[in-house]
Structure 1
C-alpha cells in the first residue's frame, strides 16, 4: 500500500479502534498493510548468510583442493583481512559524512568487521584456533568501545558494518568454545546498531536494503523474532520498489517511505529514467556500483531467510534474475541502447553475483546466461572492502 493511502487507512483504523479502546502504532499498521513476515520458532545457527551445512561443503572442497573453492580460500587467507597481527581500531563515536568525508573510524570499523568475518571463516575451514581468537579479539575491541555513529552517512555505515558483524559472530558463537564477552557483543548489536537500522531509510534504495540486511542478521544473532519480522517486512517492500518488472505496471512501485508519490517524483528518484524495462533498478542510471550494493543486500537477506526456513528466493526470483541479467549483459559488453540512461552507464557491478546466481541458476534452475558469463569470468570473487566478502568461496555451486 502506498504511503498516503496507508496513512489514510491507518487514520481510519485508529478512529475505529478508539471506539473499542484499542491503541495502534504506525509500525503495527505498516506491518499489517505490507504483510507480516514469519520468523522461525527457533532460529538456525550459524544462520546469517552462511549455514553450517554450507560451511561444511566448502571445507570439504578446500580440503580436496577443488576449484574454484581452493583458489578462493587462498585469495582470502592471502588478504590483509586475514592478518593475525592486525590491530583493531575501535572508536566510541564513528563519524561518517557523505562519501566518508569526514572519515573518522568509518573504514576502520568496516575493515575490522570484514577481518572478524574472514578470521571466522578461516577458523572453520582451516581449523586453526588462532583465527577464532583473532576474530573474537576484533569483536571484543569494538563491543568494549563503540557507542554511536554520527553525521550524514551514519545510517549507511551502521548498515554496512552491522551486516558483517553478525556473520562473524554467528560462526564463532556456534562453532568455537570460549568467547567470554559474547553477551557484551550482543548488547552492542542491540543498542548501537539495531535501533539505527531497523527504522529504514528514505534515501536511495541501497541504503535501506543494506540496513535491512543488518537488521535481519542482528535479529538472527539475538534470536529476536519481532525485529526479524519487522526487518523482513520492510525488506520485501523495498525490494519490490528497487527493481522493476513488467508485472508492476507502467511504472515502478513507490518506495515504502519518503515523499516520492507522483510519477514525476518517481522518475526523478529513478535518476531521470522514464522508460522502464525488466531488471532496471532505481540506481541503474546513477551507477552500477551502488546498484550492486542494493542487489547484493537483497541476495544476502534472501539467503538468510532460506537458512531460517522461510526462503524468500522464489518471491524475489523474477526481480533478481532480470536485474542480474540486465546489468551483467552490459558488463559483458553489450551496447547500451539509447532509451536506457541516455545510452550510457557507469559500470562496476562488483563481486556481488555469486549468492544470487547459485540460488537462482543452481537451486531454482533458472537459465541465466549473462549472469553465468559474468560470474564465472570473475572467479574467485573477493571483497568490495565494504560488506561483500569471499562469496565464490562460500556460495559458488554450493548445494547445501
Structure 2
C-alpha cells in the first residue's frame, strides 16, 4: 500500500472517529443519570422543602397558591375516584368515556401528594394512595383516536404524585408494585412510541415517558424518551439559526410546502414561533408546558437543558407567545394577522428556570406570569405551578 493511500485511509478513519464521538456526545445530551434522583419528576425534595417552608411562614407566592389548591374540589377528602377499565377518548375527547375522570383523578392524586408533604398530614397521603390504587386495580387500556394523547396527559401526572408518596411518605403503600405495573404495561408502551401528529402530542407523550421512566428506574426508556424529546423541541420551536425553514422531526415533512402546511400555513419564521402558533395558543401552551416540564425533570436528574439550545428555544417561545397573549397587535405576516389566544397557566416552570434562576430578562413573560398567579389546575396536565415553581430557587 502506498504512503499516500495509507495517509488517506488514516484521514478517513480520523473523520469517522470524530463523527462517532460527535454522535456519542449528541446521544448523551439527555441521557439517564447513573442513579435516578427521587423524588425527581418535576419537583425535587429540595423544592418540596422550599414550598413547605414558604407556606409555613406565610410567604408568597406559595401561600396564596397553596390556599387556592386546598380549596380546589379535586382535593376534597369526600371526593371519590372514578376509575375505568378502558378509557375511550375520541378527537377532542369525543366520545369521553373516562377521559375527564382519569385526568382529574391523576391531578387529584398529585394535589393530595403535595398537600401531604406541605402539611405532613397523613390523611392527604392516604387519599393520594387510594386514588392511585383505584386506577391501578382497574385500568387496562386507552382506545380511540385520542388514546396516545390521553395516555400522555394522565401519564405525565401519575408519576409526579407517585414519586412524592413513594419517597417521602413512611406510612406504607401496599399496592405500590401494582401501580408500577400499571405505568409499565398500560402507559409506557403507548407513549414511548411517540407521534407524528402535531408537536404537542409527542412532547406530552415524552413528558409522560420521562416521568414514568424515572419512577420505574428505567434508564433505557428514559434515554429513548429523551432522544425523541431532543429532536422534537427543535422541530417545534423555530430559531433563526435553523435556516430558512424550521427543522423537522423524524417522520415529519421534508419539502418546503409540506413544512409550511405543517406549520399551519405560516411561511415567515422568526425566533420563538412554534409549529402550532397559528393553530391556536392553547395547543401551543401544551407544547411549551411539556418542553418546560421535561427540562425541569432533566435538571433534577443532573442534566440542565435550560443552559443550552433547549433553553434558548423555550425562552424565545415563551416571550414570543407572551407578547400576543398580552394583547400586542398581530402583524399581517403572522397567522394572517390574527391569533387565537388562550395560552393557559404554562409559564411558571420555564420562566422560573430561565429568568429567576438563570437571570435572563423576560419582560413579557414576567408580566404574563404575574397576571396568571396563582396558576391553578385549569389545564389538562398542568397544575399548581405557582405553588411548585413560583420564585423557586432550588
Normalising by structure 1, report the TM-score: 0.91
Check if 1:162 corresponds to 2:155: yes
Equivalent residue runs for 1:262-277 within 5 Å: 262-277=255-270
Task: Return 5+ residue gaps in structure 1 as ranges.
Answer: 1-30
Give the Cα–Cα distance (whole angstroms) in 2 for the partners of residues 383 and 274 of structure 1.
35
Match of 1:194 in 2: 188
Equivalent residue runs for 1:171-186 within 5 Å: 171-177=164-170, 178-186=172-180
Query: What's the offset of the Cα at 1:34?
Result: 6.4
Query: What's the offset of the Cα at 1:194?
Result: 0.1
SS in 2 for 1:35: helix
Match of 1:326 in 2: 320
Match of 1:142 in 2: 135
Structure of larger gyration radius: 2
Check if 1:47 corresponds to 2:47: no
Give the Cα–Cα distance (whole angstroms) in 1 for the partners of residues 297 and 255 of structure 2.
34
Match of 1:19 in 2: none
Check if 1:342 corresponds to 2:341: no
Query: What's the offset of the Cα at 1:33?
Result: 11
Check if 1:251 corresponds to 2:267: no
Match of 2:285 in 1: 292
Give the Cα–Cα distance (whole angstroms) in 2 for the partners of residues 34 and 153 of structure 1.
32
Structure 1 segments, 4+ long, off by >4 Å, are 31-34
- Alignment match of 1:85 (pick from 78, 81, 84): 78
Q: In 2, are the aligned partners of 1:353 and 1:371 still within 8 Å (CA)?
A: yes
Match of 2:302 in 1: 309
Query: What's the offset of the Cα at 1:256?
Result: 2.3
Q: In 2, are the aligned partners of 1:111 and 1:385 still within 8 Å (CA)?
A: no
Give CA deviations for 1:53-105 in whole Å, capped at 9, x if unaligned. Answer: 00100100000111111100000000011111111111110000000010000
SS in 2 for 1:365: coil
Match of 1:396 in 2: 390
- Aligned-residue CA RMSD (Å): 1.1
Give CA deviations for 1:345-378 in whole Å, capped at 9, x if unaligned. Answer: 0000000000000000011111100000110121
Give the Cα–Cα distance (whole angstroms) in 1 for the partners of residues 202 and 113 of structure 2.
27
Match of 2:8 in 1: none
Check if 1:35 corresponds to 2:23: no
Give the Cα–Cα distance (whole angstroms) in 2 for the partners of residues 216 and 63 of structure 1.
32
1:236 to 1:366, Cα distance in 2 relative to 1, 3 A: same
Give the Cα–Cα distance (whole angstroms) in 1 for the partners of residues 44 and 285 of structure 2.
23
Give the Cα–Cα distance (whole angstroms) in 2 for the partners of residues 378 and 207 of structure 1.
24
Give the Cα–Cα distance (whole angstroms) in 2 for the partners of residues 201 and 82 of structure 1.
33
Q: How many residues align?
A: 369
SS in 1 for 2:329: coil
